[in-house]
Amino acid sequence: PQVLQWDTADLAELHNDPSDHVFARMQPDSVAHAFRAWHPWHGVTTYRNEQVQRARLWRYLTDDDTYDVDHYLTRLEGRARLVGR
């Protein structure tokens, strides 16, 4: 797997914590800030889907199953657990 196969010296500084989300305090030099990049061709739904896919990729690359951007992926996973009952 491609997990942590790059210089990770600054990973702790860039890896945002759960308090960094769109409804609170956003860290300008975090991974989440880069993942929040909106492009003119994105509609609202596409933008959120992109954030979820970026979070999934980052989870894979860092081997961190808890990483999220603005709690979108966490909410989807929670909903899936509720529906699966």
Confidence band of 20 (pLDDT split at 50, 70, 90): low
Mean of the pLDDT values across residues 3-12? 83
**Which 8-state DSSP code applies to residue 8?**
-
Q: What is the pLDDT of residue 46?
A: 92
- In this model, does residue 70 exceed pLDDT 90? no
- In this model, does residue 78 exceed pLDDT 70? yes
Domain locations along the chain: 11-83
Q: Give the other-Cβ count within 10 Å of 16's Cβ.
A: 20
- In this model, does residue 53 exceed pLDDT 90? yes
Note the pLDDT tens digit of each residue in 21-38: 666 566 778 888 888 888
